[in-house]
Amino acid sequence: MTAHNEFYPNGHLLVDVPWVEANLGSTEVVLLDARAKGYEAGHIPGAIHIDAKLLKNPSQYAFASEDTVKELLEQSGVSNGTTVVVYDEGSGVLATRVFYVLEYYGLRDQVKLLNGGYIAWIATGKEESEEQPFVSKGSLTLTADKQRVTSRNNIQAGLNNSLLLDVRSREEYTGSDQRSNLKGGHIPGAIHKEWKDALAAADEQGVVRFKDYKTLQQDFAAAGLKTELTIVPYCQSNQRGAHTYFVLRLLGYSHVSPYEGSWDEWGNVAHTEVVT
């Protein structure tokens, strides 16, 4: 069953298949396919492929530069005022990662996600395209919103009125799964709520959508989140953290500021405390 988007406080951030279909070909809407693979084999007609990895500077635990992101988006046809709709398979973290980085660079409330992703499009029998669309280069002004990101220095200096939210697996949180990090465990004071808890079970057609507003609201409140706090999600590389950023934005949380370095930084540098 399709969630009723208007029931989410920020339901405008989420669109469904009929909305995308109605806006195909609009000069004011750019559709971005953020899937890691499969674009050439078939995508939503008019969609442009975007590689979410290009939005990160892994050597500095930071975003790609403003110039890099601007060029990537302009080459995809994005201009000031463009509505951007991004999708992945529907159960992944790539579309929400694109959403987060674009909001950080100032496209707040201009970016939407397709609920259920590409699988939802296919499940309703909509046509696919193998064609690379012609793109008119966009013209974009980006302005980084520094309030939307938290650094290791911020955390070590002591966060005010904030809550650290570890969205990795329970095993990563406890340190029993250290992955390839030098240290395992979590940041002192962080509570745990795995990112994928926000997704409903796949329906009979394999479509994974977000849980309804009431369920999500209750789940996050039960975990200890409060809307008046700044929520600081983190994971390993801030892909799963960006997914939680999107969900909290959808739910109307005003202050969400992920830790971009995440465990990739915290678990691998000297002078960071960990709890197991």
Domains and CATH numbers, the chain: 5-123 (3.40.250.10), 146-266 (3.40.250.10)
| Average pLDDT across the chain, whole number | 96
How do residues 49-84 score in pLDDT, each as one tens digit? 999 999 999 889 999 999 999 999 999 999 999 999
Q: Which residue has the tokens 């406080």?
A: 9
How do residues 196-233 score in pLDDT, each as one tens digit? 999 999 999 999 999 999 999 999 999 999 999 999 99
How do residues 156-199 score in pLDDT, each as one tens digit? 999 999 999 999 999 999 999 999 999 999 999 999 999 999 99
pTM exceeds 0.95 for this model: yes
Q: Which residues pair with 31 in a beta bridge?
A: 85
For 118-136, what is the mean pLDDT? 97
Distance CA 173, CA 188 (A): 11
Could you give the percent of the chain with pLDDT greater than 70?
98
